[in-house]
Amino acid sequence: MQSRRNALILLHLTVFIWGFTGILGKLIQEHQSTMPLVYTRTLIAMVGLALGALWLRRSLSPATKDLKHYLLTSLIITAHWITFYGAIEISTASIAVACLSTSTVFTALLEPFWFKRKIRVYEVVLGLIVVAALLLIFGLESGYREGIIVGTLSALFSAWFNIINAVLIKRGDALRIGFYEMTGAALCMAIYLFSTNALPPPLWKLPPMTIVWHLLLGLVCTSFAFVAGIVVMRQLSPFTVVLTVNLEPIYTIVIALLIWGSEEKLRTGSYLGIALILICLFVNGWFQRKRDQSEVIEPAPLTQG
């Protein structure tokens, strides 16, 4: 019980940190477009994780049967970040993070297949309520429909890689998983940008504040938070993690309103939709406490990336 409580505390700290990713992304996009942004973020995160492993004296040896799964998962993570920052670029930070809420229903439908368990009715119901909340936002914020579609696609990728990591963490080290997933993502972006002759300039050639935003995004919001997000899955189900991550839009929207004001302001009905998402979060917590804490879920064999 104590370990679960500690995992929940760490998860909420991680989600609070993730609340700044959309803000930092929008600040960086004043000088860099989506693809160079994702490349720089993954590269900094990779270096940060390598330094963390050196400091903690943890092995990053590639001698593991799951290495190919780490690298394949990195492609899904890359797709998630490209669509996420793409949604910010064509809409707003508030819209992009609100769309991530649909990862709840994607997780409720996908997780049972990976963990060989029955679909829980309450998870599907909560997921559908989240989708209804998003449709409410979608109908009211008609000027951002393209951004909403791209943001929802980003949520699908988010649910997918979180479920895979929940399987991988059962038999691997979180720091090593994070390092190779970031390495794969950085390599993927480097190949693409090099092939299109669009590699960004070195970090030190960017404006000073952009360098600061990049370091915060890469080291704090990615290196630390990404590994922490994997670690908590030793105690928490992917559905609980993903549903808790739905607090991220709340943090992001509040911060965005403080920084950009009316530019990020949504309609009243949209905030009602966000409130529904919060209610689902607390209802899920109640159901989780009602469940037998001794329940053991064995993950299915990993057969896809």
State mean pLDDT over 173-195.
94
- CA torsion, points 289, 290, 292, 294, in degrees to nearest 10? 10
In a domain, 285, yes or no: yes
Range of the domain at 268: 2-290
Q: Greater confidence, 201 or 139?
A: 201
In a domain, 303, yes or no: no
Read off the tokens for 26. 């929008």
In a domain, 21, yes or no: yes
Residue 7's φ and ψ, nearest 5 degrees, are -65, -40
In a domain, 216, yes or no: yes
In a domain, 162, yes or no: yes
State mean pLDDT over 86-109.
82
In a domain, 296, yes or no: no
Helix axes 208-215, 21-28, angle to 10 degrees: 150
Tens of pLDDT, residues 144-160: 888 889 998 999 999 89
> Can you give the pTM of this predicted structure?
0.80
In a domain, 295, yes or no: no
Tens of pLDDT, residues 29-48: 988 899 999 999 999 999 99
Read off the tokens for 167. 């399987």
The number of domains in the chain is 1
In a domain, 302, yes or no: no
